[in-house]
Chains A and B, each alone.
Chain A
């Protein structure tokens, strides 16, 4: 079972990397970019039936640092209507 974990900085936490990317986009002439936040996408292949609680546990214990980050779990196969 494929699982995607999106890890992003919590709102209000300054993102120096996002700011640098923002500056670089402006430098390339892209106007109208209001804000840039850099996150992380982690793709897992886990046993079928792995519970949401176990996935939450993985995120809280390792994949995200809950002091500064939030996470969102996504099941790409479901999203595409596959079995």
Chain B
């Protein structure tokens, strides 16, 4: 069946086109584009992607306003039905603010906007999005954020670690994240939020192809079944 993926655009999103290109290159199907004010999502979606950027100018808190927008109510309902949702960078912030993922993303500990390649350890190579990686392997994704410092209380951290819900961890210290967490899965495993940008690592010309594996894992599983 033809893959149906959607990319949400908020005012201030700036990685939405990159995300759509990644979905299109890997799936061979056009990505549907959804505007933040839409109360309904296209039907029969295989996957929803929430891109990076600075939705609503990061007003109040990063992702706070976007997570209360009409389309996010529909995304939350879809996620609860089991539709796969990928949130990258600002998309991760939107997912924590919406309550789909635990924790919060705070200002980087060193206060700098950090824009570079980051090496990550794949902690869980079994999930929908990470099955193409080997658990424990090291991958390299670009990071570009000011507020990627993952925080959750110790009890929550113990729980998500114990349940295999840490998808990626920074190999080196980059932003002060608790336990160097870079990407988190929800309890159902169908929602992944991560600060590093897999959509910026899908072609050798972009500097790497590790990100492509993530899209191939998810899209392959969703359409190949």
Instruction: Tell me the bound Cα distance from A62 to B152 in angstroms.
Output: 18
Q: Which of A7-42 contact B (CB under 8 A)?
A: 13-14, 16-17, 20
Q: Complex Cα distance A20/B109, Å?
A: 10
Docked Cα-Cα span, A62 to B60, in Å, equals 9
Check if B33 is an interface residue, CB within 8 A of chain A.
no
Minimum CB–CB distance from A71 to chain B (whole Å) comes to 13
- Inter-chain CA distance A16–B104, complex, in Å, is 14
Q: Is the CB of A62 within 8 A of B64?
A: yes
Main secondary structure of the interface of B (DSSP, over half): loop
Label chain A's interface by main secondary structure: helix
Q: Which residues of B contact A44 (CB under 8 A)?
A: none
Given contacts A16-B149, A17-B111, A62-B68, contact A68 B106 (CB under 8 A): yes
1/0 contact trace for A40-82 toward B, CB 8 Å?
Answer: 0000000000000000000001110101100000000000000
Indicate with 1 or 0, residue by residue over B144-167, a CB within 8 angstroms of chain A CB atoms. Answer: 000001011100000000000000
Q: Is the CB of A65 within 8 A of B104?
A: yes
B residues neighboring A (CB under 8 Å) = 60-61, 64, 68, 96-97, 102-104, 106-111, 149, 151-153, 176
Identify the A interface with B (CB < 8 A): 13-14, 16-17, 20, 61-63, 65, 67-68
